[in-house]
Structure 1
Amino acid sequence: MSQVAVTQDQKNKKDMHPFVKYLLRTLVIYLVSLGIVAGTVLWAVRQIQLFLFEPVDANDETGITVDIPMGTSVRGIAKILYEKGLIRSAGVFRLFVELTDQGSKLKAGRYVLSKNMTPQQIVDVLTSGETAVDTVKITIPEGFSIRDIANYLQNFEKDGQKVFKFTAQEFIQAAKQFDKFAKDYTFLYEIPEARRNGEYPLEGYLFPDTYIVYVDSTPEDIIRKMLSTFERKVYFAQFRGVPLLTRIDELGMKLDQVITLASIVQEEAAVKDEFYKISAVFYNRLKIDMPLQSCATVQYALGSSERKPFLTNEEIAVDSPYNTYKNKGLPIGPIASPGQLAVEAVLYPDEEFMNPKKPVLFFVYAGDNRHVFSYTAEEHAKAKQKYEKLWKESQNQKKE
């Protein structure tokens, strides 16, 4: 081979080298990119598998109690499950539920779940509605005091068996924990400081209603449920189209004053139209600095759950800040749990009865849940004499 041929061959090899390098570089980049994409896809598939089809911890069978309140959204349920450590992502769980069209099938209740359950298994339990804890329906009547509520719950039975494990005294003790509840229900700070460390600081704020509660509920569980209902049906509610707080400001009153007066009206009235009339009578008395003279406040001071329309002189003489025969103005706090009607009656008392030229200042129980109203002390004395005699006769007949 000649020298010239060798030199030409070397030259051709040099001319091809950049092209080969380009091809190799492109191939490498392609293969690397393909590897990255494939790795990303595999990672994504694995994450989807983890988030949607695998449990948080396949080896953890520990039961975790989960409460799903009535009306909780899919977002809310996902948040609860995530905070309990039962799912890896609230967002992915929510998407899973919505894509499988099971959001409307999730049911409220108290469930026992575990970390070894897959998201699908959790959904299956929540859609079955087979809660781990039975529920019961309780009804707290309007006008019940905390003592009444406590005794009612202590003696509440289902199928002849007492339901709740706590005693009346334990419920009362739980209701004394003002600071614990005030952290979550700020309206409680409307309660005067002087009463926050008293015997019944939450009196008047445990809203009377029908509730569905778990049979293993603690006093705190039930108290929180009742406070939440008060918040919704009273504190943030509208009465005659006006927010409670707005109307209170218009009246120049405070929340605790409204609830206190409403609790007295609740105990004195029985027929709807008389709630507004009795409220007006008490307003009229307050306006002229006349004692309210409510039998209900005295009976509360005596610790009695019995409601009597007439009291003895001995009962009226009891020394208590709740005795509105001896003390002018409102008592130091509510005497019972008022319902919405009683609250509305305090916000909108009967205007006719509050006529400044001729205010109604007296009422007396006349039987059949009705009262007779009077303008003057003389009229009231005659009515009281008449109806007290009739009432005592009826009581004697019942005893016989």
Structure 2
Amino acid sequence: MADSATANRNKTTKPDKFNLHPVAKKILRQLLIFLISLALVLGSIALAVQTVYNKFIKPVDPEDDTLITVEVPMGTSINGIAEILYENNLIRNTAAFKLMVDLSNKSNKMQAGKYELSKSMTIQEIINELMTGQVSVSTVLVTIREGDDIRTIASRLVDEYNMNFTEEQFIAEARRVEKYMDDYPFLRNIPEERRESEFPMEGYLFPDTYYFYADSTPERIIRTMLGEFDAKFTQEMRDLADEQGMTMDEVVTLASIIQNEAKTEEFSKVSAVFHNRLKIGMNLESCATINYVIEDREVNQITLTIEDTKIDSQYNTYKNPGLPLGPISSPGLDALNAALNPYPEFMEPNEPMLFFVLMDPETGLHAFNSTYEGHVKDKQKYQVNWQ
């Protein structure tokens, strides 16, 4: 009996290797919770990545090797190429294709031509094919910059891209607005008064990156850019313009001023200032409109002289009320949207902003004010940066 009792006593007092200290148990429990949570998060990320891949990047049909003949016409932008591929069911998503092109830095290597592609091809394989198409005539990758006017476009096409015509020939063709109205009815929005002006189609040659044949004519290039404008200025935008009581030409004109006055992040704020001024009949006083008519095209002045503001021109918004005669450049999509969607916090029922002044040419950002007195103080504060 004594031996049995001793054995039982020894059994109960023997240390248990799993009998952890309470603090250690708490730490172990927290560690297990963390590891389980981490596994769940990583699993969620993996699932999200797989979902994105399946929805946007994965080949349309990995098992279908049937060849589909696709033609990329001359002058087609990257956006246009993406649309062609999507319409032929060769990619799942146009944005994913454009992102892959940007990431691979091959947008300037793709060529117009005919291609045989299949639904089983990856986006990268399609991009590689687009770099080696059947091309009978050499092509030129041309970038029309946002904010370029027709004179600048003509100059760059000849001087930078060596197109097979002169600046004068391109400008002369760009004046023939009546010729293009049947094919591009939106040009009928251009007021009669401007159809006889020097640059009636200013603002409508849409800025983008295009592929042109080296021997493209001014007409072919103009038609391509007009077609791109027609595609970009959507029906929704046209309806919004109608709701706001603006014609398409007024939207393009305002957008062109916004484009040349500010950086993209401030487009809607500058738009609000101009909308507020137009509403109360206050002159726009846009430096960009003066620079458009200054004879020295090499100078884009930050500050204007008194003589500059007195220039006798229908584009002088210091001298004339309302919008100028027409656009002063080719606005991009962001500027067009800003013209239609001014920054609401700068407008009624909030205190409407009526002034803005450049703070620093290096950043391109502005200070905004609702009063002239505040505007004068801003000018005095920041003009030292303009030298």
TM-score band w.r.t. shorter chain: 0.5 to 0.7
Q: Deviation per CA, 1:193-237: give whole Å up to 9, x if none.
A: 11112100000000000011110011111111100100001144x
Instruction: Tell whether the 8 Å contact from 1:133 to 1:215 is kept in structure 2 after alignment.
Output: yes
Distance 2:205 2:73 in 1: 22
How many Å separate the matches in 2 of 1:331 and 1:108? 39
Following superposition, the deviation at residue 108 of structure 1 comes to 5.0
- How far residue 355 of structure 1 moved from its aligned partner, in angstroms, is 2.2
The residue aligned with 1:138 is 142
2: CA distance, partners of 1:331 / 1:364: 21
Q: Could you tell me how far apart the structure 2 residues matched to 1:291 and 1:379 are?
A: 18
State the number of aligned residues.
269
1:277 is aligned, of 256, 269, 272, to 269
The superposition leaves residues 266-289 of structure 1 with CA deviations (integer Å, 9 ceiling, x where unpaired) of: 0001142x1000000000001110
Larger Rg: 1
Kept in 1: contact 2:112–2:139 (CA 8 A): no
2:359 and 2:237 map into 1 onto residues whose CA distance is 33
Other-structure match for 2:374: 379
Q: For 1:173 and 1:246, locate their aligned partners in 2 and report how far apart those are by CA, in whole Å.
A: 33
Aligned letter for 2:177?
A: F
Question: Partner of 1:307 in structure 2?
Answer: 300
Alignment check: 8 A CA contact 2:149 2:203 kept: yes
Is the Cα–Cα contact under 8 Å of residues 154 and 166 in structure 1 kept in the other structure? yes
2:214 aligns to what? Answer: 215
Q: Secondary structure at the match of 2:233?
A: helix
**What code does the residue aligned with 1:389 have?**
V
Among 217, 240, 245, the alignment partner of 1:252 is 245
C-alpha deviation, 1:142, in angstroms: 0.4
RMSD: 2.6
> For structure 1, which segment, 276-285 or 313-322, has the greater mean C-alpha deviation from structure 2 after superposition?
313-322
Q: Is the 8 A contact 1:185 1:227 kept in 2?
A: yes
Superposed displacement of residue 332, structure 1: 0.9
Aligned 8 A contact 1:364 1:384 in 2: yes
1:1-400 → structure 2 map (5 Å cutoff): 68=73, 108-109=112-113, 129-157=133-161, 163-236=162-235, 243-272=236-265, 274-303=266-295, 304=297, 306-356=299-349, 358-367=351-360, 368-392=363-387
- In structure 2, C-alpha distance between the alignment counterparts of 1:130 and 1:174, rounded to whole Å: 30
Q: CA deviation at 1:137?
A: 0.6
CA distance in 2, matches of 1:316, 1:348: 29
Provide TM-score, normalisation by structure 1.
Answer: 0.63
Does structure 1 conserve the Cα–Cα contact (< 8 Å) formed by 2:204 and 2:229?
yes
Cα distance 1:300–1:201, how it changes in 2: closer, same or farther (>3 A)?
A: same
Q: Measure the CA separation in 2 of the matches of 1:68 and 1:352.
A: 44
Rounded to whole Å, the distance in 2 between the matches of 1:130 and 1:286 is 53
> How far, CA to CA, are the matches of 1:196 and 1:164 in structure 2?
27
The aligned amino acid for 1:139 is T
Deviation string 1:155-180 (CA, Å, 9 cap, x unpaired) is: 024xxxxx212111111111001111
